[in-house]
């Protein structure tokens, strides 16, 4: 157990190009400290912008809260023991094996599952009602009345069953969909055991993707981006999807062959797509992606909320309490698996 009387130095790093809801500024810290006063009083806090703090040694820092950082800066900070990222994905920090071996890396996975579930449910209902085509007809001043079957009883394939995937599973189950989920191991996570309301009807390893992909009416991608998942939904795999099946991506653009998906949308063989992630971001204004028929573009907002910085800080305080008790921290990132 750590010394409860010791004071610790925490550095909070923000990026000015992000919306204020993501900024870890003194006002945000004060609000969070009011909810965790006994923990906050043990901390001396500093604030930085756009990585400027990393140009000087971090010799006085015990903990770092940031979205990204130079590997050399944290490796040379010998007092630094724990880094917490403000998001769930850590692909921006690759290669993870370049981080000092004794550094603990945690992420903010799970802080936005309520929003993720709502977004997944919205996307499923939009795609089932063929809203992308209806909206395009509206822009063209065309009356395009489409008859669509109820969503209940259709099949959704979840690629990934972490916190986002579990939120999507609950959302889909609430709509009466048959939920098939794939993850690396094929085993149910402890937080969503079989039989739990919202648990998948079928759970299989991602190695069976080729078996289940042709069965799906909807595919929702929530798996983290790792070397193993990059390009997972390739052109060849997309070609095996049934005609009219739709795609939702809440993870990272690189998991899907977007050019191949766009060709399927243009050809009318894909029923529609809701994509929340792109590369690069923001999507350039002159990108041809904006005009792909059947596509709904959302600007990486599926998991965001006005109180995002408070959710991050609450998660950090929860882990700080575990640190002081000498317990295993939540959301520790595996260097081996990349999430």
- Where in the sequence numbering do the catalytic residues fall? 252, 281, 300
Q: How many CA atoms lie within 13 A of 195 on its CB side?
A: 0
Contact between 264 and 238 (Cβ < 8 Å): yes
């Amino acid at each position: 157990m750590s010394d409860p009387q010791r004071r610790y130095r925490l550095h909070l790093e923000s990026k000015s190009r992000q919306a204020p809801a993501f900024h870890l500024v003194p006002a945000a810290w004060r609000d969070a400290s009011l909810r965790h006063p006994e923990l906050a009083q043990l901390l001396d806090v500093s604030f930085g912008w756009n990585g400027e703090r990393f140009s000087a040694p971090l010799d006085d820092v015990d903990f770092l809260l940031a979205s990204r950082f130079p590997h050399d800066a944290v490796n040379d900070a010998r007092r630094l023991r724990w880094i917490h990222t403000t998001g769930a994905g850590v692909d921006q920090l690759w290669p993870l094996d370049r981080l000092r071996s004794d550094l603990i890396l945690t992420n903010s996975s799970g802080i936005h599952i309520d929003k993720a579930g709502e977004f997944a449910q919205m996307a499923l209902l939009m795609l089932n009602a063929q809203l992308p085509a209806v909206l395009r007809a509206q822009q063209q001043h065309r009356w395009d009345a489409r008859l669509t079957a109820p969503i209940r009883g259709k099949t959704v394939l979840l690629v990934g069953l972490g916190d986002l995937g579990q939120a999507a599973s609950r959302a889909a189950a609430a709509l009466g969909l048959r939920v098939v989920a794939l993850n690396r191991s094929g085993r149910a996570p402890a937080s969503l055991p079989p039989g739990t309301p919202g648990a998948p009807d079928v759970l299989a390893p991602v190695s069976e993707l080729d078996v289940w992909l042709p069965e799906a009416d909807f595919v929702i991608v929530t798996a983290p981006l790792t070397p193993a998942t990059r390009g997972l939904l390739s052109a060849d795999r997309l070609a095996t999807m049934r005609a009219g099946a739709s795609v939702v991506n809440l993870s990272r653009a690189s998991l899907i062959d977007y050019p191949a998906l766009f060709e399927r949308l243009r050809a009318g063989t894909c029923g529609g797509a809701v994509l929340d992630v792109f590369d690069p971001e923001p999507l350039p204004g002159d990108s041809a992606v904006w005009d792909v028929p059947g596509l709904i573009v959302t600007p990486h907002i599926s998991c965001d909320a006005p109180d995002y910085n408070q959710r991050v800080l609450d998660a950090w305080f929860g882990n700080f309490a575990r640190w002081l008790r000498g317990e295993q921290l939540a959301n520790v990132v595996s260097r081996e698996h990349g999430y």
